[in-house]
Structure 1
Amino acid sequence: MIVDCALYIEGRGRLGVTSVAQALAEAQSSGGFVWIGLFEPSAAEFADLAQSFALPPLAVDDAIQAHQRPKLERYGDVTFAVVKPVRYVDHEEVVEISELAIFLGEHFVITVRHGVSDVPAVVRKEYLTNSKLLAHGPAGVLYRALDHAVDSYLEVVEAIGVDIDEIEEQVFGGESGEHAERIYKLKREVLEFRRAVAPLTMPLQRLVAGEVEWVGASAQQYFRDVHDHVLKASDAIEGYDNLLTNVLQAELAQITVEQSRQSVRQNEDMRKISAWAAIALVPTAIAGIYGMNFDNMPELQWRYGYFAVLGLIASICVGLHWLFRRNDWL
């Protein structure tokens, strides 16, 4: 359950802490903080830890169940935040969204990760090499986690933009094939991406505005930078959504036009087939009549009857051909 536990005191970090209670006691006595990282814990696994740090039950349930919207909530002395780091699988054109729940107290940070994300590991590494971050305490952990998550948003925005440009070129460049399925799939991924990004603007706005007591003026400028990047990513996602809608409509319009063209061609082919069938019906009908084996039939004994019938057939066929050509059936 616990993938890592570290103690940060007096500008340095100590990894591999085995006793959570001892680490918390040292952090409280020395003014430092302990950082505990968990990966997809169950309720039973998280129960003892939640009791030791007096974590709010509602926030604990959210952290265990996951599938939460990005948010920032205050429960007395404990702050609970949810952020959704993302990554783009280019060959599948899929946005993979993980979830990171963060509990912040005066002397502790607890991160609960669901899915694949390197954000906690990267931030932990920074805390071991950058003593300036330790001056901000737990607030610095939240800032760096948000900053890395938002950086991943911008990276995914850029990757999606490349795929959208490719789709536009295929649709409007006259490339053969149906692209509606790919467009719809990418549009669906953009919508899922937006659900991870857009709700984060309000919590960051609260941090920038100083509504959270433990975020001082020195830290607000960092959250302001993160907030600006989130707004940039959110605007880009909104633009991509509208653009994909327009491209999808254009693709469907082209499919409709092509189907109309095929329908027209089929109608023209049917007219031609019907016209030739009508012409072929004339000699078939006359030959069928004179092919009947009756003794008393007109013109059977006439010397020029055969040639007259052939002439009649030819005249009628030529007349029908002229009539069909005149009406654009042939």
Structure 2
Amino acid sequence: MTRIIAFKDRKCEIIDDPGKIPELLKSSAAVLWVDLEGGGENEIGVLRTIFQFHALAIEDCMHDSFHPKLDNFGDYIFLETQAIEKCAQSPEISAAEVSIFLGTNYLVSFHNKPVKSLESVWDKCLNPPWQIMEKGPDFLLYTVLDRIVDDYLCALEGLDDKIEEVEEEIFKELKEDQMGRILGLKKELLYMRRIIGPQRDILNFLSREPVPAINKKSQIYYRDVYDHLFRIYELLETYRDLVSGSLEIYLSTASNRMAAASNKMNEVIKTLTIVATVMMPLTVIVGLYGMNFKYMPELEWKYGYFFALGIMAFVAIITLWFIKKKHWL
């Protein structure tokens, strides 16, 4: 799908025919935004035939790398960035790659699927007053990048709620699924870190180094986006520490519970061992008098039964005294 907004004579209009692009590009007073979605032959043809961009840049558009980059081709710059596709209400965070060409009087955006950030800026450009398009394509690029960075913060706020929820649950009650949720949060933060980290360098370059397609007066806006992104990156590192702390708390709590269960089991085994130790000599005595020999004097003795009980009681007391002396009980 190809969409075109042209700003000329202090008003914006939608152009339906891509064939009018070369004529609009010749006018220095016109500002053009061409948005290409889908990556089909028609969209690639616009890049290759009408704008005649470098083959390597077009190849990068066709293959998602999910690694931010910036190339300067002299008359135009090419950059790849990632926009957050899902925000706080979504179960997981995913990103959509957006490829952007910026020239003196045009901006071309290329993406394989709908991007919420671009849709928001597109709607703003169509509504008067047309301040975004009036200030030029470099200001339009700033607006797009600023919106993308705002969505990063939105995604982080969603993760913040999830981190707090997991921490509260850990302190209340330990559950088996909490480990998986913590590792999932850690994975999402690492995913965002891999996206945001390189973009800091790109925005720092755009805000400080001379770029032909960007007016020096507009660089201060890029510096503002860079500062915003830098704060988001620091916030991301803070959340990573919180998740690591939650993981340590979970493992420590689980370890303490296992140790408590092990100690309880040891106490049970200790009690059973003492009982078995006391009963063992008594079993020997009972077994001795239970033998079927004909001549056993104690069997005919009037006090033989009480004598056997006394021996068993004496042995049990001696055994308990010995265990106590050795501090086994």
Using structure 1 for the length normalisation, give the TM-score. Answer: 0.88
Q: What is the 5 A alignment of 1:319-330? A: 319-324=318-323, 329-330=328-329
- The alpha-carbon deviation at position 113 of structure 1 amounts to 2.0
1:99 aligned partner? 97
- The answer as to whether partners of 1:7 and 1:33 remain within 8 angstroms in 2 is yes
- The answer as to whether partners of 2:138 and 2:215 remain within 8 angstroms in 1 is no
**In 1: Cα distance, 2:215 partner to 2:144 partner:** 18
1:69 aligned partner? 67
2:48 aligned partner? 51
- The answer as to whether partners of 1:9 and 1:32 remain within 8 angstroms in 2 is yes
SS at match of 2:300: coil
- The alpha-carbon deviation at position 329 of structure 1 amounts to 4.8
- The alpha-carbon deviation at position 204 of structure 1 amounts to 1.0
- The alpha-carbon deviation at position 20 of structure 1 amounts to 0.9
SS at match of 2:108: strand
Q: Which amino acid is the alignment partner of residue 37 of structure 1?
A: D
**In 1: Cα distance, 2:309 partner to 2:224 partner:** 94
Residues 216 and 29 of structure 1, relative CA distance in 2, 3 Å threshold = closer
**In 2: Cα distance, 1:116 partner to 1:276 partner:** 74
Q: What is the 5 A alignment of 1:210-221? A: 210-221=209-220
Using structure 2 for the length normalisation, give the TM-score. Answer: 0.88
Q: What is the 5 A alignment of 1:1-330? A: 2-15=1-14, 17-29=15-27, 31-42=29-40, 44-52=41-49, 53-86=51-84, 87-90=86-89, 92=91, 94-115=92-113, 117-129=115-127, 130-171=129-170, 173=171, 175-177=173-175, 179-297=178-296, 299-324=298-323, 329-330=328-329
**In 2: Cα distance, 1:62 partner to 1:209 partner:** 25
- The answer as to whether partners of 1:136 and 1:219 remain within 8 angstroms in 2 is no
- The alpha-carbon deviation at position 246 of structure 1 amounts to 2.7
1:294-317: CA deviation from partner (whole Å, max 9, x where unpaired): 324452333322221122122222
Residues 64 and 317 of structure 1, relative CA distance in 2, 3 Å threshold = same
**In 2: Cα distance, 1:271 partner to 1:115 partner:** 66
**In 2: Cα distance, 1:100 partner to 1:4 partner:** 15
- The alpha-carbon deviation at position 3 of structure 1 amounts to 4.6
- The alpha-carbon deviation at position 320 of structure 1 amounts to 2.8
**In 2: Cα distance, 1:151 partner to 1:298 partner:** 100
Residues 182 and 257 of structure 1, relative CA distance in 2, 3 Å threshold = same
Residues 174 and 205 of structure 1, relative CA distance in 2, 3 Å threshold = same
**In 1: Cα distance, 2:267 partner to 2:221 partner:** 69
- The answer as to whether partners of 2:3 and 2:16 remain within 8 angstroms in 1 is no
- The answer as to whether partners of 1:40 and 1:64 remain within 8 angstroms in 2 is no
Residues 127 and 88 of structure 1, relative CA distance in 2, 3 Å threshold = closer
Q: Which runs of 5+ in 2 are unaligned?
A: none
- The answer as to whether partners of 1:9 and 1:27 remain within 8 angstroms in 2 is no
**In 1: Cα distance, 2:326 partner to 2:90 partner:** 55
- The answer as to whether partners of 2:5 and 2:33 remain within 8 angstroms in 1 is yes
**In 2: Cα distance, 1:225 partner to 1:284 partner:** 87
**In 2: Cα distance, 1:150 partner to 1:168 partner:** 27
CA RMSD of aligned residues (A): 2.4
- The answer as to whether partners of 1:106 and 1:138 remain within 8 angstroms in 2 is yes
Q: Which amino acid is the alignment partner of residue 316 of structure 1?
A: V
- The alpha-carbon deviation at position 75 of structure 1 amounts to 1.6
SS at match of 2:101: strand
Q: Which amino acid is the alignment partner of residue 50 of structure 1?
A: L
**In 2: Cα distance, 1:256 partner to 1:326 partner:** 33
Aligned length: 325
**In 2: Cα distance, 1:5 partner to 1:47 partner:** 15
**In 2: Cα distance, 1:270 partner to 1:302 partner:** 40
